[in-house]
Every structure is written in structure tokens, then in C-alpha cells.
């Protein structure tokens, strides 16, 4: 099964929410929509689900143009960030509700609901009401409804955002196997790069109502083809600074310079934007070719086994992320080392060049 | 070691005094009157529960109580569904929202005795717009000063006009607090408008509706000003509700003892029915 967007546009009262977007989403793997809040993930999902009308363009499902089809007829499921269940109904009735509307036989409903409840470990709670369940169970109930419905497409709109950390990890591990082999196209919207990496499959990076890059998740992470994509797909945010290249020497505005190697060495002379992920900037050099940077430490954070330091590099704010605990003094200058071989080079207009 | 002292009393004291002066003392005065007989000059005779017995057995009280329950029942059965329907049909966003809200709030801003006077003039035959229209244009005999049925229709319509807005505003507040996600879920399931109402809107409005029903019950059960100004309890005794009857006994006849006993019975009934409503309507949540 597939969902295909053909130059789909969404406008509300003259404001464009989704700029012309073309995308082919397939079954067999998760399709992650990754972007910050307000980047258009939910808008795009609503377009595909038929909850909002298209301003122009088309939506196709399985080779059929569904642009004019109502939400109900598109046969889809949607799981929200909020736990949306019918408050007056039991868990059983909640899972069964779309099947009943579709007019399915009682015995078949029973079977489907029980199967979905087993998968999501809701068996003992079938007779309870949603508000008597924990947040995780409520969301599992919403997921069970999506599974029991056996729809063509399942849209998961930040389904784990309102769960606490432990539950989020647990459910995230289960999600891919829940939908494996069911044939539905799974679209998963998230603002966390880590989730995109963990759920694998393909990722569409979104920014300001536009898909900036789409492809296999690992490939996009390794080679974001523009600066915006690199920024979206990095947490903490990717470090960027202006750089000029002359011969084989690269120089930052702050004066730090090094000899470029690899594909970057073939770039014509001129100015570029260098971007490097925070974990390639460390307080201790791991090799002789590391480039020394120096900056005033602004904020430090210790999270478990990693410590991060935000520091000033010229006019830019940079972040270093390193294993272990490091003795930073806030407000004092500190030396950091950058693994320049891991850096991305973007042209002035933001395209990846090396 | 734990320090124990009586300092907490100082914090409770102001509240205690306030409650004493605005509730306990007045009520105890009424209790005091209700068990005694007085002929003026501050001479009192102990009467026990005689007044209570007399009131409860009297046809006059029972008739007034019956009318009171009928009135409250009728206005609740009209105002609650009507309020919900109006709230459902009001716009959820856009420039018409404030217009609708102000229009809705308008009747509630009018003082009660003005409402009574307005409707009195409005419905008078020959003079009033409605009275003239009914009698002389449509040819339907309508005179609430002569006909008990017309008087009842008028006080009911007046109360519906005055207070349905309260139900509308409360229901509307409940409706707009429902996240879009619920409507989307219903759309995806293909649920009918009735199911959306039954399984999403009604459950989500439940809390505010409980408040609306309680407020409308208490207010309508204790109503005095509007029907008093409009009909004065007449024609005959046909619209003499409990409060109107009570004032007649207390101030008209100056029977302080029976009036006090009646007040307490009145209060007890209001309290009991409110409690019943509340308990029944919140039963599910307690589970």
C-alpha cells in the first residue's frame, strides 16, 4: 500500500500551511515526519487523513485518487498526542467503535478487539473506562483502536509526547512490531531526532511547511543535503560557523584553522558554512588532527553519563557533548576540540557540498 | 519534639465569625421564631413543633409546594435542552462569537424586578405589545391577569427568556473546551452527529451541566421577584409559589411563627433536592 502526495498544498484563510509537497510513503517500514513544533507535521497528516481540504494538488492511496474522498471513506486511523478515547465507553467499546460504525458482525468484532487488546496488554482492562487507566494505558487503548480497525493508513501524531520517560521508551520499542506485517502505511510525526533514528525506516525532514529531505533515516542522518535539514536532525542543535577556505587551509572567523582533507579538499576557494554535531566537539582531543577551539562556557548540563557545555565561539553559540564528567567553569574560557573530519560543509545558499 | 499549641484557632476564628453572622445567627433567629408564638411586645409562648405540623398538614402549603415543583420542573425541562441546543448551534470561532455571547448575557444583566415589570407591561391586553397582538391581531383570548393558564404560560416564558442564557453560556464553555482531536477521532470513525453528541459532547459537558441544573433548580425553586411583580401570585392563588406564599404569611399576616417554620421546611426541601441532584449526577465519577 502507498500514500502519495502530488504537489499538495494547504491554505487556511490565505495563509499557506503546507507549500507544494510531493511524497511517496510506503508500507513495510515507519515513515517518520521529523520537524520542530509548527513545521507542518500535523498539517501534513491532516491533509493525508482528509481532515483538512487541499488547496491544490492531489492525495492518492493505493493508486486511487482520494483527494475528494471523506475521512471516513479513506479508511485510516489517527493516534494523537492527547489520549483521545470516548470517555463514556469502556475500553472494549472504544476499541470496537470504528468496527461497529462499519457494521461488522458481533462475533468478528469480539475477535478483533480481543486480538488488539492482547497485543497491547489491555485484556484485564477491557471493562474499565479510559479515565480509570494510566496515561500509558489510555494511549495503548487508542493504539488498539487503530490496530483493530485494520485501516490502510495509520497516522501517529507524536503519540508518545505526553507519556513519561519510562513508558515512552517501552512503547517506542513495541511500536514497530505492533504494525509490522499489517500492511498499513505507518506515518509517525515527531519533533525528536532520536525517535526518528530509533524507529528507523524512512524520514521526511520538515521545516516551515516544506519537506526539505526524504529518504532512508540513516542516510539522511549521515548526509543531510542542506543546512536546514542538518539543523532539524540534530539534538542538541548542530553547531554552525562561517568558514573560509583557501588552498587546503580552512579558517573560521575566530581564527582557528586546519588543513582540510577528503572531499572537502576539492572545494573551490571561498566562504562556506561549517556544521558539526555536538558529539564531535569534545573537551579532550581524541586524535592529533583535532582542531582546537576556545570559548567562554555559558551553560553546562550533566545528563547521566554525558555532559554538555554551551560555549561562545565568536558570534555563534556552540555545544559540546562528551562522555564522562568534565570540570567546566561557567563564565570561564575553556578549550574544546573539533573532529574536523566529521564536519559538513554547506555552500552560502545552504546546500551540502562536502 | 513536636510543639503543640492552640494557635490554629486564631486562623479559624475570622471565618467562624463571618459564617456565624451571615448564616448561623439569622438561621437560629428563624429557628427561635419557629417554635414559639408571639403577640408582640416581645412576649413569647413555647409552641414546640406545632407550627411545623400545622404547615405540613395545611392544604395551602401543599398547594403552593405543588405549584413550586411544577414550575421548577417545567422550566428545567425547557431551559436545559434549549440551552444545550442553542450552545451547540453557536459559532465556535470568528467575529460572531463575542456578538453571540453579549446577546446571550443581556437578559441576565437586567434586574429581576425590571424583568417582571417589563413582562407585565408587555403582556397586558390592549396596552402591551404581546397582549395586543394576541387578542386583537390573532384573535386568541390571552389575559394573564384573568386566566390562570395564561398566567402560567407567561411566567414560564419569562423565566425561559431570562435564564436560558445561563445554561447556554455554561454549556458553551463546556463545548469549546473539547479539543479538536475528539471531533477528528469521531470523523475518522465515521460517527453520526447524534453519536458525537452522545459520546463526546455530552460527557464533556457533564460537569458544567451539573452546575447549570443545580443553579437553575435552586434559583427557580426560590424564585420570588419576577412572578410577584408580574402576577402577584394571581389570578386567585394560581401562581402563588412557595416564596410568595411565605411572604404573604410573614409580612401580610405577620404570623412570624408559622412563617419561620415554613422557611425552615422550604430551606430543608431545597437543600435535600439539591443534594439529591448532585449525588445522582456525580454518581459515576465517584466510582
Q: What is the pLDDT of residues B70-80, one digit of tens each?
A: 999 999 999 99
Rounded to the nearest angstrom, the gap between the alpha carbon of residue A274 and the centroid of all alpha carbons in its chain is: 23
Interface of A with B in 1-60 (CB under 8 A): 46, 49, 51
Is residue A138 predicted with pLDDT exceeding 60? yes
Residues in A touching B197 (Cβ below 8 Å): none
Domain finish residue from A232, A267, A285: A232
> How confident is the model at residue B285, as a pLDDT?
59
- CA of B186 vs chain A CAs: smallest distance (Å): 9
Question: Which chain A residue has its CA at the smallest distance from B200's CA?
Answer: A86
On whether residue A30 sits in a domain, the answer given is yes
How far CA B91 is from CA of B56, B86, B99, B206, in Å, comes to 49, 10, 10, 20
> How confident is the model at residue B77, as a pLDDT?
95
Q: Are residues A97 and A147 in the same domain?
A: yes
Q: What is the pLDDT of residues A272-283, one digit of tens each?
A: 999 999 989 988
CA-to-CA distance for A295 and A333, rounded, in angstroms?
5
On whether residue A215 sits in a domain, the answer given is yes
Torsion sign (Cα): A246, A251, A253, A254 = negative
> How confident is the model at residue B286, as a pLDDT?
47
Taken in order of first residue, the domains within chain B and their CATH numbers are 57-286 (1.10.3720.10)
Q: How many structural domains comprise chain A? A: 2
- CA of B88 vs chain A CAs: smallest distance (Å): 19
Question: Which chain A residue has its CA at the smallest distance from B184's CA?
Answer: A51
Average pLDDT value for residue range A307-334 = 88
Q: Are residues A89 and A133 in the same domain?
A: yes
- CA of A177 vs chain B CAs: smallest distance (Å): 24
Q: Are residues A135 and A178 in the same domain?
A: yes
Is residue B249 predicted with pLDDT exceeding 70? yes
Residues in A touching B95 (Cβ below 8 Å): none
Torsion sign (Cα): A83, A88, A94, A97 = negative
> How confident is the model at residue B9, as a pLDDT?
83
> How confident is the model at residue B75, as a pLDDT?
95
Is residue B272 predicted with pLDDT exceeding 90? yes
Using a CB–CB cutoff of 8 Å, tell me whether B70 touches chain A: no
Chosen for mutation from A73, A74, A86, A90 (greatest number of chain B CBs closer than 10 Å) is: A86
On whether residue A354 sits in a domain, the answer given is no
Q: Are residues A100 and A129 in the same domain?
A: yes
What ipTM goes with this model?
Answer: 0.71
Using a CB–CB cutoff of 8 Å, tell me whether A104 touches chain B: no
Residue count of chain B: 287
Instruction: Verify whether the Cβ–Cβ distance B203 to A101 is below 8 Å.
Output: no
> How confident is the model at residue A189, as a pLDDT?
93
Q: Are residues A164 and A115 in the same domain?
A: yes
Whichever domain contains A291, its CATH number is 2.40.50.140
CA-to-CA distance for A289 and A93, rounded, in angstroms?
63
Instruction: Verify whether the Cβ–Cβ distance B190 to A49 is below 8 Å.
Output: no
Q: Are residues A204 and A85 in the same domain?
A: yes
Instruction: Verify whether the Cβ–Cβ distance B189 to A98 is below 8 Å.
Output: yes
> How confident is the model at residue A232, as a pLDDT?
86
Q: What is the pLDDT of residues A165-186, one digit of tens each?
A: 888 888 888 888 888 878 889 9
CB-based contact A82:B184 (threshold 8 Å): no
Instruction: Verify whether the Cβ–Cβ distance A71 to B187 is below 8 Å.
Output: yes
> How confident is the model at residue A131, as a pLDDT?
86
Is residue B283 predicted with pLDDT exceeding 90? no
Q: A179-183, A195-199, B158-162 — which is least confidently predicted?
A: A179-183
DSSP state string for A261-293: -GGGGGSPSEEEEEEE-GGGEESS-SSTTPEEE
Using a CB–CB cutoff of 8 Å, tell me whether A102 touches chain B: yes
pTM: 0.76
Domain of A81, in residue numbers: 2-232
**Residue in the structure block whose three cell numbers are 555545544:** A319
Q: Are residues A182 and A272 in the same domain?
A: no
What string of H, E and C letters represents the secondary structure of A185-205? EEEEEECCHHHHHHHCCEEEE
Is residue A351 predicted with pLDDT exceeding 80? yes
> How confident is the model at residue B1, as a pLDDT?
57
Q: Are residues A117 and A264 in the same domain?
A: no
Q: Are residues A199 and A251 in the same domain?
A: no
Q: Are residues A159 and A264 in the same domain?
A: no
Q: Give me B268's grid cell.
A: 430543608
- Of B86, B120, B119, B117, nearest to B104 by C-alpha is B86
Using a CB–CB cutoff of 8 Å, tell me whether A261 touches chain B: no
Q: A180-194, B119-133, B205-219 — which is least confidently predicted?
A: B119-133
Average pLDDT value for residue range A107-127 = 89
What is the overall mean pLDDT for chain A? 88
In which order are the strands placed within the sheet that holds A56-61? Answer: A15-26, A2-12, A56-61, A64-65
Is residue A44 predicted with pLDDT exceeding 60? yes
Chosen for mutation from A71, A74, A89, A133 (greatest number of chain B CBs closer than 10 Å) is: A71
Q: Angle at which helices B50-57 and B256-281 pack, to 10 degrees?
A: 70
Instruction: Verify whether the Cβ–Cβ distance A78 to B179 is below 8 Å.
Output: no
Residues in B touching A77 (Cβ below 8 Å): 188
CB pairs under 8 A between A and B: 51
Is residue B284 predicted with pLDDT exceeding 70? no
Rounded to the nearest angstrom, the gap between the alpha carbon of residue A287 and the centroid of all alpha carbons in its chain is: 32
More confident residue, B287 or A232: A232
> How confident is the model at residue B287, as a pLDDT?
44
Domain finish residue from A202, A232, A262: A232
> How confident is the model at residue A276, as a pLDDT?
92
Rounded to the nearest angstrom, the gap between the alpha carbon of residue B51 and the centroid of all alpha carbons in its chain is: 26
More confident residue, B283 or A113: A113
Domain finish residue from A177, A202, A232: A232
pLDDT over 70 percentage in chain A: 100
> How confident is the model at residue B72, as a pLDDT?
94
On whether residue A160 sits in a domain, the answer given is yes
Average pLDDT value for residue range A13-26 = 86
Q: Are residues A244 and A216 in the same domain?
A: no
On whether residue A22 sits in a domain, the answer given is yes
Q: Are residues A71 and A199 in the same domain?
A: yes
pLDDT over 90 percentage in chain A: 14
Instruction: Verify whether the Cβ–Cβ distance B188 to A86 is below 8 Å.
Output: no
Is residue B81 predicted with pLDDT exceeding 90? yes
Angle (CA) B143 B145 B147, round 5°: 60
Average pLDDT value for residue range B157-163 = 92
Is residue B39 predicted with pLDDT exceeding 80? no
Average pLDDT value for residue range A337-344 = 89
CA-to-CA distance for A338 and A289, rounded, in angstroms?
9
On whether residue A320 sits in a domain, the answer given is yes
> How confident is the model at residue B79, as a pLDDT?
94
Amino acid at each position: 500500500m502507498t500514500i502519495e502526495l502530488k504537489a499538495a498544498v494547504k491554505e487556511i484563510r490565505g495563509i499557506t500551511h503546507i507549500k507544494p509537497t510531493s511524497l511517496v510513503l510506503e508500507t513495510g517500514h515507519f515513515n517518520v515526519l521529523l520537524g520542530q513544533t509548527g513545521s507542518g507535521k500535523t498539517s501534513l497528516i491532516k491533509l493525508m487523513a482528509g481532515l483538512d481540504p487541499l488547496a491544490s494538488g492531489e492525495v492518492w492511496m493505493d493508486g486511487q485518487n482520494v483527494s475528494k474522498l471523506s475521512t471516513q471513506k479513506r479508511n485510516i486511523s489517527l493516534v494523537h498526542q492527547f489520549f483521545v478515547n470516548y470517555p463514556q465507553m469502556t475500553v472494549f467499546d472504544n476499541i470496537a467503535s470504528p468496527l461497529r460504525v462499519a457494521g461488522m458482525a458481533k462475533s468478528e468484532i469480539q475477535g478483533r478487539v480481543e486480538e488488539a487488546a492482547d497485543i497491547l496488554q489491555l485484556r484485564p482492562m477491557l471493562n474499565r473506562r479510559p479515565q480509570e487507566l494510566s496515561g500509558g494505558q489510555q494511549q495503548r487503548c487508542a493504539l488498539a483502536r487503530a490496530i483493530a480497525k485494520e485501516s490502510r493508513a495509520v497516522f501517529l501524531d507524536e503519540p508518545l509526547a505526553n507519556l513519561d520517560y519510562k513508558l515512552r521508551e517501552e512503547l517506542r520499542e513495541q511500536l514497530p512490531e505492533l504494525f509490522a506485517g499489517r500492511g498499513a502505511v505507518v506515518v509517525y510525526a515527531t519533533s525528536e531526532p532520536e525517535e526518528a533514528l530509533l524507529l528507523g525506516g524512512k524520514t521526511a525532514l520538515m521545516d516551515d511547511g516544506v519537506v526539505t529531505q526524504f529518504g532512508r533515516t540513516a542516510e539522511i542522518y549521515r548526509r543531510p543535503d542542506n543546512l536546514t535539514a542538518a539543523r532539524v536532525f540534530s539534538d542538541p542543535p548542530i553547531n554552525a560557523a562561517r568558514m573560509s577556505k583557501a588552498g587546503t587551509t580552512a579558517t573560521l572567523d575566530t581564527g582557528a584553522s586546519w588543513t582540510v582533507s577528503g572531499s572537502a579538499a576539492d572545494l573551490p576557494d571561498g566562504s562556506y558554512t561549517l556544521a558539526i554535531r555536538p558529539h564531535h566537539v569534545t573537551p579532550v582531543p581524541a586524535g592529533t588532527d583535532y582542531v582546537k577551539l576556545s570559548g567562554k562556557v555559558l551553560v553546562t548540563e550533566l545528563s547521566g553519563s554525558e555532559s554538555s557545555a554551551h560555549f561562545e565561539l565568536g558570534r555563534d553559540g556552540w555545544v559540546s557533548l562528551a562522555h564522562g564528567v568534565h570540570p567546566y567553569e561557567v563564565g570561564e574560557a575553556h578549550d574544546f576540540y573539533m573532529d574536523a573530519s566529521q564536519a559538513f560543509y554547506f555552500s552560502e545558499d545552504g546546500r551540502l557540498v562536502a | 519534639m513536636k510543639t503543640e499549641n492552640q494557635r490554629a484557632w486564631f486562623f479559624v476564628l475570622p471565618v467562624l465569625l463571618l459564617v456565624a453572622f451571615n448564616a448561623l445567627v439569622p438561621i437560629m433567629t428563624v429557628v427561635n421564631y419557629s417554635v414559639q408564638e408571639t403577640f408582640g411586645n416581645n412576649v413569647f409562648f413555647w409552641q414546640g413543633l406545632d407550627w411545623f405540623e400545622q404547615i405540613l398538614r395545611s392544604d395551602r402549603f401543599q398547594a403552593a409546594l405543588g405549584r413550586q415543583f411544577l414550575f421548577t420542573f417545567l422550566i428545567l425541562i425547557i431551559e436545559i435542552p434549549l440551552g444545550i441546543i442553542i450552545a451547540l448551534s453557536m459559532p465556535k470561532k470568528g467575529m460572531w462569537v463575542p456578538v453571540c455571547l453579549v446577546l446571550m448575557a443581556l437578559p441576565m444583566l437586567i434586574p429581576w424586578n425590571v424583568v417582571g415589570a417589563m413582562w407585565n407591561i408587555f403582556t397586558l391586553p390592549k396596552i402591551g405589545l404581546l397582549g395586543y397582538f394576541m387578542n386583537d391581531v390573532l384573535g386568541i383570548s390571552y389575559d394573564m391577569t384573568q386566566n390562570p393558564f395564561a398566567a402560567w404560560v407567561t411566567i414560564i416564558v419569562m423565566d425561559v427568556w431570562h435564564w436560558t442564557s445561563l445554561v447556554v453560556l455554561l454549556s458553551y464553555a463546556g463545548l469549546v473546551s473539547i479539543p479538536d482531536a475528539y471531533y477528528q477521532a469521531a470523523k475518522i470513525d465515521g460517527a453520526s452527529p447524534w453519536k458525537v453528541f452522545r459520546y463526546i459532547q455530552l460527557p464533556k459537558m457533564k460537569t458544567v451541566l451539573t452546575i447549570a441544573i443545580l443553579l437553575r433548580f435552586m434559583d427557580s425553586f426560590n424564585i420570588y421577584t419576577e412572578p410577584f411583580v408580574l402576577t402577584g401570585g394571581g389570578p386567585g392563588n394560581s401562581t402563588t409559589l412557595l416564596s410568595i406564599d411565605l411572604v404573604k404569611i410573614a409580612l401580610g399576616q405577620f404570623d412570624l411563627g408559622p412563617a419561620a417554620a415554613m422557611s425552615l421546611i422550604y430551606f430543608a426541601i431545597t437543600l435535600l433536592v439539591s443534594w439529591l441532584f448532585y449525588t445522582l449526577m456525580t454518581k459515576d465519577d465517584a466510582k
